[in-house]
């Protein structure tokens, strides 16, 4: 047997180290990315708002409904599908016109009834689990770890960084700069829910401005939001009168999506005096009467999200 010299042993050790160390670095990087963007991190378990057993019989509301309309003693929902253009310039979108007569029955829910990061379910699943008659995806708060997140009157996150949206108990909504107003002030004003995505599309009855340099955040995997994309947004025509618009996109000869400018102009043309952009892309989903109304990405395939805005079934 030929003895292995110390020189050869050292070379072998160097070769192993030259392979093992880069692999270890890659493994650490991959784990860090998975931990940030894939692994669920539950911070708070939340009791659903609308799933309760009443202590005494509740008066049943008179309901009239079909595939595109719903009306009961408190709320009316009318949904319209609109197609414009043709060929590669075709746009397909859905407008839900919602009016509340007495109580502003606009609620929110978390995926899996939990607040945290990377906790997702399909919009339709969250909606069905919360007895919703109507729902849209929210701001996908769980993809990021900043923003001001108030839901159902509870403050869950207080890391101001961008323009947010506040829904108030008096049936109104307003956009605001998270860094210019405190969460305690928002709650004192009657804020029930906030959303942290944006940008603001319409404010005080006018289109909010130039959207050419809008950035939401710089998280891994983000794409530009300025170009034509699927969209989800919420607008207010007057107190207790809301518009919800979902635009399909990235589907050749079905719907190219909308630019932010087009989206803002659409809300303005429909009479919204306030409007705000929520999470779009593959998240953009409208749910009504037990079905997904739109066609996410032209593939009829929902993407899991962290939260929804919904109206419960009477």
Q: In this structure, are residues 84 and 66 in contact, taking their beta carbons and an 8 Å threshold?
A: no
- Given phi > 0 = left and psi -120 to 50 = alpha, else beta, which region is 205? left
Global pTM reads 0.87
pLDDT digits (tens, 9 = 90+) for 199-245: 999 999 999 988 876 665 554 444 556 789 999 999 999 999 999 99
Straight-line distance from the first to the last Cα atom of the chain, in angstroms, rounded to the nearest whole number: 86
Q: Residues in the chain with pLDDT < 70?
A: 1-10, 12, 17, 23-24, 27, 30-39, 50-60, 213-225, 314
Give the count of beta carbons closer than 10 Å to the beta carbon of residue 101: 12
Residue that the structure tokens 């003895």 belong to: 3
The span from the CA of 228 to the CA of 152, in Å, is: 32
Q: Which two tokens stand for residue 248?
A: 């399909």
The span from the CA of 117 to the CA of 84, in Å, is: 37
Rg (CA), the chain: 23
Strand, helix or coil for residue 17: helix
Q: What are phi and psi of 156, to 5 degrees?
A: -105, -30
- Which long-range contacts link 161-165 to residues 24+ away (Cβ below 8 Å)? 161/196, 161/217, 162/196, 162/197, 162/198, 162/216, 162/217, 163/198, 163/199, 163/200, 164/194, 164/195, 164/196, 164/198, 165/194, 165/195, 165/196, 165/197, 165/198, 165/200, 165/234, 165/276
Residue-level pLDDT at 177: 97
Residue-level pLDDT at 38: 65
Give the count of beta carbons closer than 10 Å to the beta carbon of residue 109: 28
The span from the CA of 121 to the CA of 138, in Å, is: 12
Residue-level pLDDT at 248: 97
Residue-level pLDDT at 29: 75
CA distances from 148 to 20, 93, 112, 312 (A): 43, 29, 21, 25
Residue that the structure tokens 């708070």 belong to: 44
Q: In this structure, are residues 124 and 302 in contact, taking their beta carbons and an 8 Å threshold?
A: yes
Residue-level pLDDT at 313: 81
Q: Which of 161, 142, 150, 146 is nearest to 184 (CA)?
A: 150
Give the count of beta carbons closer than 10 Å to the beta carbon of residue 51: 12
Residue-level pLDDT at 57: 55
The span from the CA of 186 to the CA of 4, in Å, is: 74
């Amino acid at each position: 047997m030929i003895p292995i010299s110390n020189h050869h042993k050292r070379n072998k050790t160097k070769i192993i180290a030259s392979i093992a160390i880069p692999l270890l670095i890659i493994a650490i990087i991959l784990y860090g990315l998975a931990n940030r963007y894939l692994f669920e991190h539950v911070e708070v378990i939340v009791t659903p708002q609308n799933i309760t057993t009443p202590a005494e019989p509740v008066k049943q509301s008179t309901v009239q409904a079909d595939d595109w309309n719903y009306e009961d003693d408190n709320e009316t929902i009318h949904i319209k599908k609109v197609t414009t253009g043709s060929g590669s310039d075709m746009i397909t979108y859905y407008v839900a016109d919602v009016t509340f007569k007495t109580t502003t029955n606009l609620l929110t829910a978390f995926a899996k009834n939990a607040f945290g990061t990377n906790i997702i379910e399909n919009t339709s699943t969250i909606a069905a689990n919360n007895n919703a008659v109507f729902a849209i995806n929210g701001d996908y708060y769980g993809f990021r770890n900043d923003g001001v997140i108030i839901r159902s009157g509870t403050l869950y996150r207080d890391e101001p960084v961008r323009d947010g949206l506040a829904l108030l108990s008096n049936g109104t909504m307003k956009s605001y700069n998270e860094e210019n107003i405190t969460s305690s002030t928002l709650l004192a004003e009657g804020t029930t829910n906030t959303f942290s995505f944006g940008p603001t599309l319409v404010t005080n009855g006018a289109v909010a401005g130039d959207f050419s340099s809008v950035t939401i955040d710089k998280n891994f995997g983000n794409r530009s939001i300025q170009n034509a994309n699927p969209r989800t947004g919420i607008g207010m025509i007057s107190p207790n009168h809301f518009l919800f618009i979902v635009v399909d996109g990235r589907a050749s000869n079905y719907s190219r999506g909308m630019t932010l400018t087009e989206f803002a102009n659409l809300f303005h043309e429909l009479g919204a005096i306030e409007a705000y952009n929520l999470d779009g892309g593959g998240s953009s989903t409208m749910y009504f009467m037990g079905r997904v109304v739109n066609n996410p990405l032209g593939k009829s395939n929902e993407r899991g999200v962290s939260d929804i805005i919904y109206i419960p079934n009477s």
